[in-house]
Structure 1
Amino acid sequence: MTTSPGRFPYGRVLLIHAHPDDETLATGVLIADLTARGAAAGVVTATRGEQGEIVDGALARPVSGEQLSRVREDELREALDSLGVRWHAYLGTRPARAAGLADRAYADSGMRWIRPGLAGPAGDVGPDALTRAPLEEVTGDIAAAISAYRPDAVVTYDVDGGYGHPDHVLCHHATVRACQELDVALWFTTSDPAEHHVAVEGAQHLDIVKRALRSHRTQLTVVGEDVVHSGGQREPILTRVLLRRG
């Protein structure tokens, strides 16, 4: 597969993510690189991540799901500011809501670990969860966001959602449909070194990405050049983003 190192060749990019912190963990380097060279990056976040675990000691007292949503909204806002993102929408709320439908909040569907590195559906999924919504509804909302932001290209997860999280997988399928309907260039993030067309090298943006990651203090901890997730999983901070044409 032909590979082009360096810059992602678009001036206006919309990234579709499932939960707060995904934008920085998976594409923080890409966003930082876009904004550093004067390109514009917009982000759509599908849920508030209220089913995600909480880092021990990150909150002074127990909180409800609604309160955690507000906390993670604040964390996401801070992270996006660090990355230089100036346009953001939550899926289901305008402008990321299909015409004629009342605004709604998609809830985090949750997940369970099938094996290390591979997630699957949670045992108990709430009625307002993203994965309970019809694919056509989610597709319409993503299409509305694309029409509002008018990007040159859209970026989202590959078909496996990165690690199998059902919300990530649904975002993939809905974004594919929306981009096909609107005839917009679509790119997927991938971890497969043999299946990418562009490799964005971003070690020079590591400090910016670290600052954005630290904003998500209830979900992860930055230790040196690693991320430690709330569940204890540790991995290097991503400084190279591989992208595959959709």
Structure 2
Amino acid sequence: MILLSPFDVGLGYCLTWLREGAIGLNSHYPRNRTMLVKKVLLTSLLIGGSTLMVDMQFSPAKAANFYFVPAGSQLDNDSILDIVVSPGQEIAFDVFLDTTGVDSQFTFLNSEWNFTYDTGELSFIGKEDGPEIQNTLLPLGSNKFNVLSLNIRDNTINKLLTVKFLVTNPGRSPHDGVVDFGITLTSVTGIGGSPDFTNSFPSPSKNGLNLPGTEFNQVVEVQTPEPSTILSLLALGTLGAASTLKRKLKPSQSTEKETTKVS
């Protein structure tokens, strides 16, 4: 690359040259375009007898995340989202690690995390590994599993695990504000524990939850509607069906009247 002397060009042209040079470098390293040029410093650009210091910072966007779906929706007034279920129903949560912005230098990542569930409402029935992911589950008491996930890729939304439950005795709506399923991220590192990327992800927090000493990245409740709510829904459905039937009968009755008049 030919470097043009700052003495032969104006300020605007020099800055254009500097910007295009940085872009040219980045084009050779698409996996790390936000980290390659960390700091470009032009220390002796002399214009009109003065020295201009140009300091350009390139920082990666922090888009990494740890979450599960379905996330639920707000059905009551507590701080936890809710999922409507029925006793005997199976429910599954897909757990994801989004490593966008995390560059592991072409090596896989490892992650340690755990999930907790309410044994009074959910019964653990199994798990299914995500594509190419290897998971090892270690029970921690009666309602918690520690999970070690291997073969995680950087700059990718990785599906780590599907956790499956049988709904046994869900609480009535509105519920008690207690976590029925929650996940907590412990670490995300390179192979062998280095480098450590854990700080690139949102930290677990209590978020107003009523479980002392427990912190989560995400939680949800499962609940079943009150019997009165179910009856109301059935009544609305019956009224809707009757209204639809009435609309369908009106044209046929009008046709019968017209036929009688003609005859």
Normalising by the smaller structure, the TM-score range is under 0.3
Structure richer in strand, relative to its length: 2
TM norm structure 2? 0.25
TM-score of the superposed pair, with normalisation by structure 1:
0.26
Determine which structure has greater relative contact order: mean sequence separation of CA pairs < 8 Å that are 6+ residues apart, divided by chain length: 1
Say which one has the larger Rg. Answer: 2
Higher normalized helix content (fraction of residues): 1
